[in-house]
């Protein structure tokens, strides 16, 4: 059904269904995350780290850091949230941001959060209002895209892979600007196609101020408009339409000029290792992951998942480029299809840019998930504006990629035990004890450890013969061990000839993943599997004791780590 016709009630229900599904997935994901890793403290979804400190205004509101240790830097969402309460960087906020110029270039969502807080008569941007801003933008982007697809003869459900996929959900989950920026870009692209230039300028401006790479779209769009006027010998005087199209670029340049003057450097000077040699990091990480040795992750299941994720990301890039090729871009340029040409050039630019991802983006699965999510919208959008309907089989591929990424993100980020500290930063070893005495012996019960298989029963993690598939029944707790001697003790009960194994991995001071120990699991009641570790370097971080369940009946009761006398 083309855009000149009005929608039916059934079609409006389809749009509503897409929005409600996105809302339910988002709320359920956040609820699970809050009950698990965040231990009921919603404010901690921003993953604040005490390593950076916290702006005084926010600290006085009662917001506390999630991570209290010396090495954990938290996640980027904390910085953009801080910016929302100090938009011009005039207070102490820059002192608590890892790369102030780089972070402040993404001021778009913080500005919208501030506007929402004022509309709600609040005198500050709370963590909830900051989350609500992202949530509403993603729902708005879903509704606008679903409506557009229906009017162009494409099923509304084509927006679902972007809306509910982990690439978008992970940004909502942890306060990152990417998903909301995608929503603004989607609204802007659709508005450009529909010649609603006022809405286009507003949406694209905030998209560019949320993800700097998105400035390519208004630059290409404005350039295409001017070029068409030159080719067809039309007037190129500053007519209102061209001024509106130029607006996002003017604002973008003005803001970056302010950043350069205020912070005395450009964002690019602080954005290291984001891009590198084309294909290099993508292929090296992919191959290492498929061999079970993903960099900075250690050996085993997580590495295989990360390698597989990169394969799917590469397939998504190839699929996007193939979709672009099918539009016959050269012929389209000659015909003057401005929005189609702009979209194709912009999407191809992103593809080529993402093939150059550096280690900063590739090392964690969330990096390429966030980047790839937009392509799940661009593929059907490009088809729609070129008068084609995506094949149903390709939607299966889109949902397959979405399902894997969602499964991976759910297991490794969302459905996890409570983040608990077992060490005190004042003691400079196993961390947290909030009392005044430094402790050197810590115990985790089975249900405090994360796992990919098995269930929690009576404080233990349990696997049963014939009911539980093989896999890691436990992993974590991701602690830091400074130089010294330690005893690691795993207590299990089990029966069977091949229960599995336990290993200990971590990241050394040279930023290399190392396997420190590996032992088979022994059948019996209350079996204690002990390992003594000599950390002869300055530290081992992200220490992980993993238990692989193979077969039989297994109950993992506890894990203890004890510092021994030298």
Q: Which residue has the higher pLDDT, 119 or 282?
A: 119
Rg of the Cα atoms in the chain: 26
Same domain, 148 and 233: yes
Residue 111 has pLDDT above 80, yes or no: yes
Work out the average pLDDT over 30-44. Answer: 92
Tell me, what DSSP letter sits at residue 49? B
Task: Return the pLDDT at 182.
Answer: 97
Same domain, 144 and 81: yes
Residue 4 has pLDDT above 70, yes or no: no
Does residue 198 sit within a domain?
A: yes
Among 397, 414, 431, residue at a domain's last position: 414
Backbone angles phi, psi at 48, to 5 degrees: -70, 145
| Nearest partner of 220 among 92, 103, 344, judged by Cα | 344
Among 365, 399, 414, residue at a domain's last position: 414
Residue 354 has pLDDT above 60, yes or no: yes
Work out the average pLDDT over 207-223. Answer: 95
Q: What is the 3-state secondary structure (H, E, C) of 190-249?
A: HHHHCCCHHHHHHHHHHHHCCCHHHHHHHHHHHHHHHHHHHHCCCCCCCCHHHHHHHHHH
Residue 212 has pLDDT above 60, yes or no: yes
* Residue 159, helix vs strand vs coil: helix
Same domain, 372 and 483: no
d(CA 376, CA 357): 19
On the 0-12 / 13-18 / 19+ scale of CB atoms within 10 A, 560 is middle
Query: Going by C-beta distance under 8 Å and a sequence separation of 6 or more, which residues neighbour residue 496?
Result: 465, 523, 551, 552, 553, 554
Parallel, antiparallel, or unpaired: how do β-strands 524-549 and 477-495 relate?
antiparallel
H or E segment to which residue 260 belongs: helix 240-263
Domain count across the chain: 2
pLDDT category, 135, cuts 50, 70, 90? very high
Same domain, 85 and 203: yes
Q: Which residue has the higher pLDDT, 188 or 510?
A: 188
- For the chain, the average pLDDT equals 88
Does residue 528 sit within a domain?
A: yes
Does residue 399 sit within a domain?
A: yes
Same domain, 445 and 352: no
Work out the average pLDDT over 337-365. Answer: 86
d(CA 243, CA 436): 64
Q: Are 288 and 307 in contact (CB under 8 A)?
A: yes
Does residue 179 sit within a domain?
A: yes
Same domain, 325 and 447: no
Question: Which structure tokens are listed for 506?
Answer: 């971590």
Backbone angles phi, psi at 67, to 5 degrees: -95, 125
What is the percentage of the chain residues whose pLDDT exceeds 70? Answer: 90
Residue 428 has pLDDT above 80, yes or no: no
User: What confidence tens digit (pLDDT) does each residue in 56-84 have?
Assistant: 999 999 999 998 766 678 899 999 999 99
Alpha carbon distances (Å) from 348 to 199, 282, 283, 322, 495:
24, 17, 20, 10, 56
Same domain, 383 and 455: no
Same domain, 123 and 165: yes
Q: Which residue has the higher pLDDT, 296 or 544?
A: 544
Task: Return the pLDDT at 2.
Answer: 44
* Residue 97, helix vs strand vs coil: coil
Q: Are 30 and 175 in contact (CB under 8 A)?
A: no
The angle subtended at Cα 413 by Cα 156 and Cα 181, nearest 5°, is 45
H or E segment to which residue 21 belongs: helix 9-35
Backbone angles phi, psi at 342, to 5 degrees: -65, -45
Q: Is 213 left (phi over 0), alpha (psi -120 to 50) or beta?
A: alpha
Same domain, 42 and 132: yes
Report the Cα 95 to chain-centroid distance in Å. 25
User: What confidence tens digit (pLDDT) does each residue in 377-416 have?
Assistant: 999 999 999 888 888 889 999 999 999 999 999 988 898 8
| Nearest partner of 105 among 274, 335, 317, 329, judged by Cα | 274
On the 0-12 / 13-18 / 19+ scale of CB atoms within 10 A, 319 is middle
| Nearest partner of 319 among 370, 385, 395, judged by Cα | 395
Among 150-154, 228-232, 434-438, which is the least confidently predicted range? 434-438
Task: Return the pLDDT at 426.
Answer: 45
Residue 503: give its domain's CATH number. 2.60.120.260
User: What confidence tens digit (pLDDT) does each residue in 446-483 have?
Assistant: 988 888 888 889 989 999 998 998 888 998 887 777 77
Query: Which own/partner pairs from 188-195 qualify as long-range (CB within 8 Å, at least 24 positions apart)?
Result: 188/217, 189/217, 189/339, 189/343, 189/381, 190/144, 190/145, 190/148, 190/381, 192/221, 192/339, 192/342, 193/148, 193/339, 193/385, 194/3, 194/148
Same domain, 390 and 248: yes
Does residue 435 sit within a domain?
A: no
Work out the average pLDDT over 362-378. Answer: 88
User: What confidence tens digit (pLDDT) does each residue in 222-238 have?
Assistant: 988 887 777 766 655 55
Among 360, 379, 414, residue at a domain's last position: 414
Q: What is the 3-state secondary structure (H, E, C) of 106-152?
A: CCHHHHHHHHHHHHCCCCCCCHHHHHHHHHHHHHHHHHHHHHHHHHC
DSSP labels for 344-411?
A: HHHHHHHHHHHTTB-HHHHTSHHHHHHHHHTHHHHHHHHHHHTT----HHHHHHHHHHHHHHHHHHII
Alpha carbon distances (Å) from 516 to 177, 268, 473, 543, 546:
38, 38, 19, 10, 11
Work out the average pLDDT over 431-448. Answer: 63
Question: Which structure tokens are listed for 63?
Answer: 């917001």
Task: Return the pLDDT at 553.
Answer: 95
Does residue 181 sit within a domain?
A: yes
Same domain, 183 and 276: yes
Does residue 3 sit within a domain?
A: no
| Nearest partner of 74 among 86, 64, 62, 66, judged by Cα | 66
Work out the average pLDDT over 152-172. Answer: 95
Same domain, 218 and 130: yes
d(CA 73, CA 426): 18
Does residue 394 sit within a domain?
A: yes
pLDDT category, 423, cuts 50, 70, 90? very low
Range of the domain at 550: 441-563
Task: Return the pLDDT at 95.
Answer: 94
Residue 430 has pLDDT above 90, yes or no: no
């Amino acid at each position: 059904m083309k855009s000149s016709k009005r929608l039916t009630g059934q079609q409006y229900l389809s749009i509503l269904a897409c929005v409600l599904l996105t809302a339910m997935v988002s709320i359920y994901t956040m609820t699970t995350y809050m009950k698990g890793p965040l231990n009921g403290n919603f404010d901690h979804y921003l993953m604040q780290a005490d390593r950076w400190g916290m702006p005084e205004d926010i600290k006085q509101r009662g917001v506390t850091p999630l991570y209290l240790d010396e090495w954990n830097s938290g996640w980027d969402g904390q910085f953009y949230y801080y910016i929302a309460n100090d938009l011009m960087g005039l207070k102490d906020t820059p002192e608590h941001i890892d790369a102030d110029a780089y972070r402040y270039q993404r001021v778009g969502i913080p500005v919208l959060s501030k506007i929402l807080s004022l509309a709600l008569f609040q005198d500050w941007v709370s963590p909830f209002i900051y989350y609500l801003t992202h949530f509403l933008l993603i729902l708005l982007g879903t509704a606008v895209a679903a409506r557009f697809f229906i009017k162009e003869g494409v099923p509304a459900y084509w927006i679902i892979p972007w809306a509910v996929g982990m690439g978008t959900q992970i940004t909502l989950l942890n306060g990152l600007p990417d998903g909301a920026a995608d929503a603004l870009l989607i609204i802007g692209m659709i508005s450009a196609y529909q010649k609603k230039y006022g809405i286009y300028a507003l949406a694209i401006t905030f998209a560019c101020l949320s993800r700097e790479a998105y400035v390519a779209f208004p630059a290409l769009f404005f350039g295409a408009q001017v070029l068409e006027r030159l080719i067809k010998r039309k007037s190129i005087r500053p007519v209102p339409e061209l001024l509106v199209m130029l607006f996002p670029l003017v604002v973008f340049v003005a803001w970056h000029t302010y950043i350069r003057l205020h912070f005395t450097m450009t964002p690019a000077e602080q954005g290291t290792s984001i891009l590198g040699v084309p294909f290099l990091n993508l292929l090296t990480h992919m191959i290492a992951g498929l061999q079970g040795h993903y960099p900075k992750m250690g050996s085993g299941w997580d590495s295989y998942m990360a390698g597989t994720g990169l394969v799917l990301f590469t397939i998504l890039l190839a699929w996007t480029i193939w979709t672009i090729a099918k539009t016959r871009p050269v012929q389209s340029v000659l015909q003057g299809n401005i929005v189609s040409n702009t979209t194709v050039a912009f999407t191809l630019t992103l593809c080529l840019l993402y093939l150059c991802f550096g280690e900063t983006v590739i090392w964690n699965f969330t990096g390429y998930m966030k980047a790839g999510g937009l392509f799940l919208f661009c593929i059907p959008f490009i088809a729609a504006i070129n008068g084609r309907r995506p094949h149903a089989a390709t939607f299966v591929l889109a949902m397959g990629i979405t399902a894997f990424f969602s499964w991976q993100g759910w297991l490794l980020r969302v459905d996890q035990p409570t983040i608990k500290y077992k060490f005190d930063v004042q003691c400079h070893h196993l961390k947290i004890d909030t009392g005044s005495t430094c402790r050197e012996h810590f115990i985790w019960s089975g249900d405090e450890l994360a796992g990919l298989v098995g269930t929690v029963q009576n404080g233990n993690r349990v696997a049963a013969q014939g009911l539980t598939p093989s896999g890691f029944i436990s992993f974590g707790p991701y602690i830091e061990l400074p130089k010294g001697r330690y005893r690691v003790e795993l207590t299990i009960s089990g029966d069977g000839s091949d229960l599995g194994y336990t290993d200990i991995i971590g990241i050394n001071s040279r930023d290399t993943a190392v396997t420190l120990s590996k032992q088979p699991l022994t059948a019996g009641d209350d079996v204690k599997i002990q390992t003594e570790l000599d950390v002869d370097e300055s530290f081992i971080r992200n220490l992980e004791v993993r238990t692989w369940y193979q077969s039989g009946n297994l109950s993992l009761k506890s894990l203890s780590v004890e510092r021994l006398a030298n």
